[in-house]
């Protein structure tokens, strides 16, 4: 949700800023802008993609600067609302990720003091507050300005009177520092830095960073220095490139066998210790979007394997729900580990006295600090806005949690645990079998890419998989897609079915097969074409449906993994046929760091 980069070094800042900003474009692409310190501070910004900004850049030779790519919250996507913003005298430039909640009253106050506003954003109050507080030291002015603000922010600021310095600050929005040799960087996320350094400092909430070419100083909001050890990033530049694939999404879909393998290798070392699950009597899974769908699958897995009562809640709802008396173990799932709603839910869970476990792909992300224990999915960097490999890695992480919890609670025998582990180890192979069918799946997707509406149906553990399939389809192809539990169609949605409404049905050979086939019959009777995902060897399916994609036979609990890969490919190829911007769907951003 907005990306920020900053540079202070000895090289021209502009090409470095643009290059690293492009690697954050998944965070938002409504507008982009850059500020470079020369004799004065020069800002160039415009509506649209970074490529559009790049095409109009003048030569700027300054060695300190910052840049921003926006996902609009307050104020429409426009040039005026693009970051960075100037103060009234155009000496300061500021870029922001987050929301200043009390901006309206601050704006009135600043206007009364004679400040002129040029945008409709919440952010612009920040630059005027800094201007108002400035007395020769930028970090002091920022500290005073932030003391007036409530909300979430990561900001980067430069001032023409202190040309060798960039100051950044954080409260609830991600910010990292990259350390180089006589050059230093700030960024919202790791991919921006991969080309330049693997040495980073994670900035914590309510901290200010003063970046100069030869030094980095971290201060708390009271102005006291903070000591912090640098950490090494293990992701490589290759991870942040498309590597011959047309889109990151396709690359990431094809990386799933490896991602699942790596997540399995990581095992439960982080939560294995101290019988963390021994006293667990109930579990609540909390997440947003695709991670929420993984959580819904997780409920079936935990209840079946660990025999533990489990509920699932959307993070944005959990945060504000009444506090119940029970204290479940709260497991928070987030690919990024930076989703504002999920972080808020983690804080709320702690406030309620619950034990917390975070499952995330974001190494060193905020979620790891907001939860008692962390389990990493080791899916590798995911850049496409649509979550793919991180979803299947989350499922694998949940299988592992269920095994550990089942053993700790005495609900699962070591023999059964080993059998399940063996079957998990076969998943990369099964996923590869699905990937090998990418061409026929692409044909199918192309055949139905003209549909206006689509339905996805499944039962039991495959109902949330249908929900994930519908989400993938709508977010990248813009086809209106709805998911229903197979048994629910007859309670209303059947009214919408026509011969132009394809229905994608999970009809694998699990305990719900017969019932699902009954639902397929209901769809057939309305003349809608059915695309079924069935189990290899199920020869009767083609007699009842127009198309079948087969997945390998696995135990009921494991079908969500191969089936969701089929859905990812369907969505990808439908979106491609429709000419959609697959890695950057309209109105979306990969990491949603605002409520």
Residue ranges binding ligand M6R (CB under 6 A): 288-291, 334-336, 339, 342, 385-387, 475, 590-592
Decide whether 239 or 475 has the Cβ nearer to ligand M6R: 475
CB 384 to ligand M6R: min, Å: 8
Decide whether 314 or 447 has the Cβ nearer to ligand M6R: 314
Count of CB atoms within 10 A of residue 452's CB?
9
Question: Could you tell me if 264 and 368 are in contact, meaning their C-beta atoms sit under 8 angstroms apart?
Answer: no
Decide whether 292 or 513 has the Cβ nearer to ligand M6R: 292
CA distance linking residue 471 with residue 571, whole number of Å: 9
User: Which residue in 153, 178, 181, 149 sits closest to 166, CA to CA?
Assistant: 178
CB 471 to ligand M6R: min, Å: 6
Question: Could you tell me if 84 and 34 are in contact, meaning their C-beta atoms sit under 8 angstroms apart?
Answer: yes
Count of CB atoms within 10 A of residue 182's CB?
12
Q: Is 2 a catalytic residue?
A: yes
CA distance linking residue 374 with residue 183, whole number of Å: 32
| The one catalytic residue among 2, 149, 288, 580 | 2
CA distance linking residue 337 with residue 581, whole number of Å: 25
Decide whether 184 or 290 has the Cβ nearer to ligand M6R: 290
CB 456 to ligand M6R: min, Å: 15
CB 132 to ligand M6R: min, Å: 36
What values do phi and psi take at 578, rounded to 5?
Answer: -85, 0
Residues comprising the chain, all counted: 595
CB 222 to ligand M6R: min, Å: 31
User: Which residue in 461, 487, 447, 460 sits closest to 578, CA to CA?
Assistant: 447
Q: What DSSP line would sit under 301-325, residue for residue?
A: HIIIII---EEEEEHHHHTTSPPPS
| The one catalytic residue among 45, 47, 355, 590 | 590
- Give, as one character, the DSSP assignment of residue 41: E
Residue whose beta carbon is closest to ligand M6R: 289
CA distance linking residue 400 with residue 277, whole number of Å: 12
CB 468 to ligand M6R: min, Å: 8
Q: Is 590 a catalytic residue?
A: yes
Bridge partners (DSSP) of residue 551 are: 535
CB 498 to ligand M6R: min, Å: 28
User: Which residue in 405, 505, 406, 520 sits closest to 462, CA to CA?
Assistant: 505
CA distance linking residue 64 with residue 211, whole number of Å: 10
Decide whether 185 or 292 has the Cβ nearer to ligand M6R: 292
Decide whether 36 or 470 has the Cβ nearer to ligand M6R: 470
Decide whether 103 or 573 has the Cβ nearer to ligand M6R: 573
CA distance linking residue 505 with residue 507, whole number of Å: 6
The residues carrying an active-site annotation are 2, 590
């Amino acid at each position: 949700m907005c990306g920020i980069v900053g540079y202070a070094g000895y090289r021209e800042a502009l090409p470095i800023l643009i290059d690293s900003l492009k690697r954050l474009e998944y965070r938002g692409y409504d507008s982009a802008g850059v500020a470079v310190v020369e004799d004065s501070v020069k800002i160039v910004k415009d509506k649209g993609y970074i490529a559009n900004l790049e095409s109009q850049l003048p030569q700027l030779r300054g060695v300190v600067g910052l840049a921003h790519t926006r996902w609009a919250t307050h104020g429409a996507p426009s040039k005026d609302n693009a970051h960075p913003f100037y103060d009234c005298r155009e000496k300061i430039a500021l870029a922001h990720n987050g929301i200043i909640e009390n901006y309206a009253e601050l704006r009135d106050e600043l206007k009364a003091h004679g400040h002129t506003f040029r945008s409709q954003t919440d952010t612009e109050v920040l630059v005027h507050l800094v201007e108002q507080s400035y007395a020769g030291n930028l970090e002091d002015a920022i500290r005073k300005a932030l003391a007036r603000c409530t909300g979430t922010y990561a900001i980067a600021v430069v001032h023409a009177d202190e040309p060798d310095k960039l100051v950044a600050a954080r409260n609830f929005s991600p910010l990292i520092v990259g350390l180089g040799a006589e050059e230093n960087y700030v960024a919202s996320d790791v991919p921006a830095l991969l080309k330049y350094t693997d040495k980073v400092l994670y900035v914590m909430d309510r901290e200010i960073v003063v970046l100069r070419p030869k030094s980095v100083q971290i201060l708390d909001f009271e102005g006291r220095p903070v000591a912090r050890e640098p950490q090494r990033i293990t992701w490589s530049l290759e991870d942040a490139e498309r590597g011959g694939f047309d889109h990151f999404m396709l690359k990431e879909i094809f990386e799933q066998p490896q991602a699942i393998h790596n997540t399995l290798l990581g095992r439960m070392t982080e939560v294995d210790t101290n019988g963390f699950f021994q006293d667990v009597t109930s579990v609540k899974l909390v997440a947003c979007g695709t991670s929420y769908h993984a959580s819904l699958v997780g409920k079936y897995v935990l209840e079946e394997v660990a025999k533990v009562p489990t509920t699932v809640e959307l993070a944005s709802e959990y945060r504000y729900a009444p506090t119940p008396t029970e204290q479940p173990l709260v497991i928070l799932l987030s690919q990024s580990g930076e989703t504002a709603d999920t972080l808020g839910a983690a804080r709320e869970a702690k406030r309620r006295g619950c034990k917390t476990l975070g499952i995330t792909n974001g190494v060193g992300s905020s979620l790891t600090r907001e939860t008692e224990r962390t389990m990493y999915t080791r899916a590798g960097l995911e850049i496409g806005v649509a979550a793919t490999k991180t979803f299947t890695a989350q499922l694998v992480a949940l299988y592992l949690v269920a095994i550990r919890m089942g053993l700790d609670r005495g609900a699962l025998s070591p023999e059964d645990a080993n059998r399940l582990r063996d079957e998990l180890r076969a998943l990369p192979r099964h996923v590869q079998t699905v990937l090998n069918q990418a061409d026929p799946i692409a044909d199918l997707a192309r055949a139905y890419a003209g549909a206006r509406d689509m339905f996805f149906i499944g039962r039991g553990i495959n109902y949330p998989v249908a929900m994930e399939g519908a989400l993938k389809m709508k977010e990248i192809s813009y086809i209106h897609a709805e998911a229903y539990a197979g048994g629910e169609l007859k309670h209303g949605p059947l009214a919408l079915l026509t011969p132009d409404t394809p229905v994608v049905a999970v009809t694998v050979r699990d305990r719900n097969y017969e019932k699902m086939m009954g639902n397929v019959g209901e769809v057939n009777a309305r003349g809608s074409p059915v695309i079924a995902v069935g189990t290899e060897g199920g020869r009767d399916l083609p007699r009842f449906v127009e198309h079948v994609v087969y997945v390998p036979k696995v135990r009921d609990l494991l079908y969500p993994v191969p089936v969701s890969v089929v859905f990812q490919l369907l969505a990808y190829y439908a979106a491609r046929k429709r000419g959609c911007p697959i890695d950057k769907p309209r109105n979306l951003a990969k990491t949603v760091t605002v409520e």
